[in-house]
Amino acid sequence: MKKYSLLFISMIVLFSSCVDEFLDRRMDTNYTEEQVFSSYTTMRNFGIGIYDNLPHGFDRFSGGMLAAATDDAAHAGANNTVQKLGNGNWGAFGNPDDQWSRMYSGIRKANLFLENSADYRAIIVQDTVTEQGKQAYLTQSNDLMWLRAESHFLRAFFYFELLKRYGGVPIITEVLDAESSFDYTRSSFDEVVAYIESELELAMPDLRETWVGFDGDRLIGRATKGAALSLKSRLLLYAASPLNNPSGDESKWIKAAEAAYEVIALNQYNLVDNYRNLFRSINNSEIIFGRSYAASNGLERNNFPIGFTGAVGGTNPSQNLVDAYETINGLSILEDPEYDAQNPYVNRDPRLQMSIIVNDSDYKGRKVESFVGGIDGYGNARATKTGYYLKKYVDEGLDLLQNRSSVHTWIYFRYAEILLNYAEAMNEAFGPDATAEGLPMTAREVVNQVRQRPGVNMPDIAASSTQDFRERIKNERRVELAFEEHRFWDLRRWEDAEEVLSEPIRIAVIEKNSDGMFSYSYQNAEERVFLQKMNRYPIPAEEINKAGGTLQQTPLW
């Protein structure tokens, strides 16, 4: 394991990304490191602060979402940072999604907390003679025990975020002081996978099963056993995928299926009945781990149709994505003879209009006019580039004119993903319809559960071969998990990105006829660039330079 030091300047401790600077022993203007880790309250606050380094989802690209760097969306702005990821204008000297410093800052917080809280029971010992003193000591001991387990989970989470971006990275488990030696070499991909697994194993015994009834303001915001198992499921699915498993080792797919089934076997989570409302809920039985933000309306300003006062344009779903939604007969639009290209949104998978605002649909008390010349359509500043607007996550009820706001929850893990992880891994290991010891559900059974939740009720998948079923699962992940930051990584791990993300973004050109009906045509609008080396991110050039030759750049960069 490697060691490192960063200048800590976040929350209680101060950070920078410079690996050659050492810990500033002043935690802030009020506390030294020794003072922070000498009492329950300051120690607990520090532990909770580690969560602040979890990645943001909604607006970390200046109001744009990562989907706009895939074939699922475009951004309405002219120079949004996320557009660089789509047009290939990024690299070691500039990457809009560079998470190197943020994740290693989180890792350093976790390292610092775990090192300094190891003797927490002795640190917080107090009056244990009185019943009140005993109870206070028990409560505080339990809370710090949980936080230490959560810190292992968070350290694993941060390393996974690095792994999926950069591949193998340095594994750093201790905090340096000025006298420590410094070794900053990269571990292999498989070594980082094994390390993350070991961190989750350390976390599991002391993680709570739920925070319901204990910490009401953090029902989904603090890690649980289900969150740790879900991270393991995603980790092992990625590790089994073609990009990271070039030999096609079937045992890795079996491990991925087993990890997903561990979550299923908890019998703690289920698919909620209302897919649309799932993403506007602060807490429900499908969300395994998420992050609720303070009340705001930035998401609505960035995504309401432009004809509504206060809207400024944002993430626009693409025609590419719209075409991926099947008809209600369970067929693609190319396969279903009943599909009407001039009435394209009728008799489609219900998740289409639960996730995407289409022309002439009802929204906020009126019809959406995304046709040419409409108040939401082409010709208006910041209007949709594609003919569509985002509905998923957005609070339709907010009044921007009155600056109303509401709480939004970014979901890191939910049960539907776990089911799709299981289905994909089972299909690769055993085919669509086989089971195995300890894996009693088939890939087909599980993916059809996702498709047939109440309110969606899509038909069973009919594909019979492993290859055909693989393509159906890929499409199911695309529509079920749209705008949740999966496709960007799925295409890479499947090694599909070079082909798919080099294709242009397609848009709908909608004309309103004199009879009030609409005519639809489609065209390519936004060219995209993807090179094979972009499956992995380059390490920021400044980090390579600071490491003085000990840190190797990502291959091909």
pTM to 2 decimal places? 0.93
pLDDT at 267: 97
pLDDT tier at 219 (50, 70, 90 boundaries)?
A: low
Collapsing DSSP states into helix, strand and coil, what is residue 408? strand
pLDDT tier at 143 (50, 70, 90 boundaries)?
A: very high
Closest CA to 296 of 409, 412, 404: 404
pLDDT at 134: 85
pLDDT of 479 strictly over 90 = yes
The Cβ of residue 167 has, within 10 Å, a number of other Cβ atoms equal to 20
pLDDT digits (tens, 9 = 90+) for 269-324: 999 999 999 999 888 999 999 999 999 999 999 999 999 999 998 999 999 999 99
pLDDT tier at 17 (50, 70, 90 boundaries)?
A: very low
Closest CA to 167 of 421, 477, 489: 489
pLDDT at 27: 44
pLDDT at 371: 97
Closest CA to 412 of 167, 217, 228, 252: 228
Residue type, 313: G
pLDDT at 184: 79
What is the CATH architecture of 1-55+99-207? Alpha Horseshoe (1.25)
- Considering only 10-24, 147-161, 210-224, 351-365, which range has the smallest mean pLDDT? 10-24
pLDDT digits (tens, 9 = 90+) for 504-556: 999 999 999 999 999 999 999 999 999 999 999 999 999 999 888 899 999 99
What are the structure tokens assigned to 66, written together? 């990562």
CA distances from 187 to 156, 175, 345 (A): 15, 18, 49
Mean pLDDT, the chain, as a whole number? 91
SS in 3 state form for 102-160? HHHHHHHHHHHHHHHCCCHHHHCCCCCCCHHHHHHHHHHHHHHHHHHHHHHHHHHHHHH
Give percent of the chain with pLDDT exceeding 90.
82
| Ramachandran region, residue 530 (left: φ > 0; alpha: ψ -120 to 50; beta: rest) | beta
pLDDT digits (tens, 9 = 90+) for 193-217: 999 999 999 999 999 999 887 754 4
Could you tell me where the beta strands, DSSP code E, fall in 250-308? 287-296
pLDDT of 28 strictly over 50 = no
